[in-house]
Every structure is written in structure tokens, then in C-alpha cells.
Amino acid sequence: MSRIAYVNGRYLPAREANVNVEDRGYQFADGVYEVCEVRSGKLVDAPRHLARLQRSLRELRITQPMPLTALEVVLHETVRRNRVDYGLVYLQITRGVARRDHAFPQAAVRPSVVVTAKNLSYDKNQETAKKGIAVITTPENRWPRVDIKSVSLLPNVLAKQAARERGANEAWFVDTDGFVTEGSSSNAWIVTADGRVVTRMVDNHILSGITRAVLLEVIEALQLRLEERPFTVAEAQAAAEAFVTSASQLVMPVVKIDERTVGDGKPGSVSQRLREEFHRFAHLS
């Protein structure tokens, strides 16, 4: 089946789905995006993703191209046309097309909207979670506004590639004080020996993950103890458990950080429980 992409009001076969060479997303990475998990053909936590999108647009002063309800319709329709049962839907909005000039276009331009969707293997994701993943650490080299979900992802791309070349699945950025900020495409968590769940507080130095936000509700409902504070690489390596969260990986246990094994080298019980409980709290629409 050929894939279908939504581009500026039209649903097109992927090979015909093109954007202008002077799109500011292409030229300056001047745009924002969202990735939403799809389950049973439904969107997971769409209202939260759309609220975050709206915030990203506002922070970058990109005009919102259509109401959120209309965007949600496009997300659903792209999922439907691609027959995605389990997978991801991707939404990107750029400032639009204009003759190349760093400053914003002087005349108002229409933002460009692209939506794509793809099927993933749920079983494969589960298999990975059973074994857990390895992460590497790398110096934080991103701008101090990574709370904006911008498509400018070069440091994240290089970090993920470095992880892959070292046989790991994710890279954790580490700030100049030695604290982990977050992963190249996920939020970072540890579980202490006495069962406290720790993740960095939300500020300009991490993306406020939707999976993270939902998991905070799970943690509260399960009456686990939570600490929102920074942690060092050494603390993570010595922790009982570690895991990452993202829409595509949900709660993914981490069993190795650089060359050190976490816990007994197997996914921990708290991480596994949080993974299992997650979908009871996620909103489907």
C-alpha cells in the first residue's frame, strides 16, 4: 500500500508529497513538530500534544495555521488513510515559504503543514522492553530553549548516531554541572535503591514530555515516591533502575549507561510496572 502524506490541505501519495525548496523549515529548520502514538487506530493523548504544539508555535511566533480541532481531524484522517493500527503520526508546521532571508518574512506567509503516519511493530517494541536498552552519555550542546519542540535537531541527530555506533539505543545529554538533562529523543529517569522515582524538573533545558506528564499521574496513582530534580551520570549508574520515556518507546528500561550495568542488568520491576500501567492512564481519541 502506498503511503499517504498530508501537505498543505491535500492528501498525496508520499512520492508526490513535496515542499517548496524555499520552505523555511528546509532552509532554517524554522518550524515545530509533534509525534503522537497511535493505538488501535486512535491517537494517544492528542489534546496534550496539540496543546504543546500550540505553545511551541507561540514561542517561535509562527502563526497557527488552523484550529486545533481541525489539526486533530487531519491527524485522524492521515492515520486512517495509511491504515495505521499501531504506530506514530508526525505533524510538522514551519513558518512557510519565502525568499531566503534569516529574519521573518515581511509579508505574511502561510505556514506549511505536513502530516505523515507510519505503522510500527508493537511486538518488537515489547521485545526491546523485555531486554532493556543501553544508553551513552554526551555533553549537552543544544540551545537553552529545548522546551520548544523545534525541528532544529542536529545535536540530537548526532547524539543518536553516536549511540548507534556504540551499540546503544539512546544518548543522554549531560550539562556542565554533570547532570543528565534528557535523551536525544526521550526523557530520562532513575529509580533509587529505596524506590524513589527521579526525573529532572521541567524547565528550558528539557522537553516537557507528554509521556512524562502521563507517567507522573501513574506514579501518583500507584503511590510511588517522586522526586523532580536533576541527577548525575554516577547516580544513574549506581541506581536500582533507569528508564526513558517517549511517545514511541513509552516506558523503556535502561540496563546500561556508558560501560556500566544498571542494577542487575535486567529491566527493573518499577520500570516494568510503570510500562504496564501506562496505557490505563493514557487518553485515546
Question: Would you name the residues annotated as active-site residues?
Answer: 149
Q: How far is the CB of 152 from ligand PMP (least distance, A)?
A: 11
Copy the grid coordinates of residue 284.
485515546
Name 207's bridge partners.
Answer: none
| Chain residues 223-262 in contact with ligand PMP, contact rule CB under 6 A | 245-247
Binder among 12, 35, 68, 151 for ligand PMP (CB under 6 A): 35
**Cell 556542565 -> residue:** 176
207 interacts with ligand PMP by CB under 6 A: yes
Q: Judged by CB under 6 A, which stretch of 54-62, 65-73, 83-91, 209-217 contacts ligand PMP? A: 209-217
Q: What are the start-end ranges of the E strands in the chain? A: 4-7, 10-13, 31-39, 42-43, 87-94, 112-119, 133-139, 170-174, 180-183, 187-191, 196-199, 225-228, 241-246, 250-257, 260-261
What are the distances in angstroms from CA 226 to CA 146, 192, 217, 230?
Answer: 23, 10, 11, 12
| Stretch of 16-24, 65-73, 203-211, 272-280 lying at the interface with ligand PMP (CB under 6 A) | 203-211
Q: Is 275 in the site for ligand PMP (CB under 6 A)?
A: no
178 alpha carbon, distance to own chain's centre:
23
Cα-to-chain-centroid distance, residue 77: 22
Separation of first and last alpha carbons in the chain: 25
Q: Is 209 in the site for ligand PMP (CB under 6 A)?
A: yes
Smallest gap from Cβ 88 to ligand PMP, in A, equals: 10
Contact status: 197 vs ligand PMP (CB under 6 A)? no
Task: Measure the CA–CA gap between 160 and 39, rounded to whole angstroms.
Answer: 26
**Which residue, 23 or 182, has its beta carbon nearer to ligand PMP?**
182
**Cβ 159 to ligand PMP, closest distance in Å?**
10
Position 185 contacts ligand PMP (CB under 6 A) = yes
Among 116, 169, 186, 199, binds ligand PMP (CB under 6 A): 186
Cα dist from 120 to 15, 42, 128, 232, 240, whole Å = 20, 14, 13, 33, 30
Residue 89 or 247 having the CB closest to ligand PMP: 247
Residue 212 is a binding residue for ligand PMP (CB under 6 A) = yes
180 touching ligand PMP, by CB under 6 A: no
Considering only the stretches 102-110, 184-192, 263-271, 276-284, report the one whose residues sit in contact with ligand PMP under the rule CB under 6 A. 184-192
**Nearest alpha-carbon partner for 62 in 74, 70, 54:** 54
Are residues 184 and 135 in contact, defined by beta-carbon separation less than 8 angstroms?
A: no
Binding residues for ligand PMP, rule: CB under 6 A, are 35, 182, 185-187, 207, 209-212, 245-247
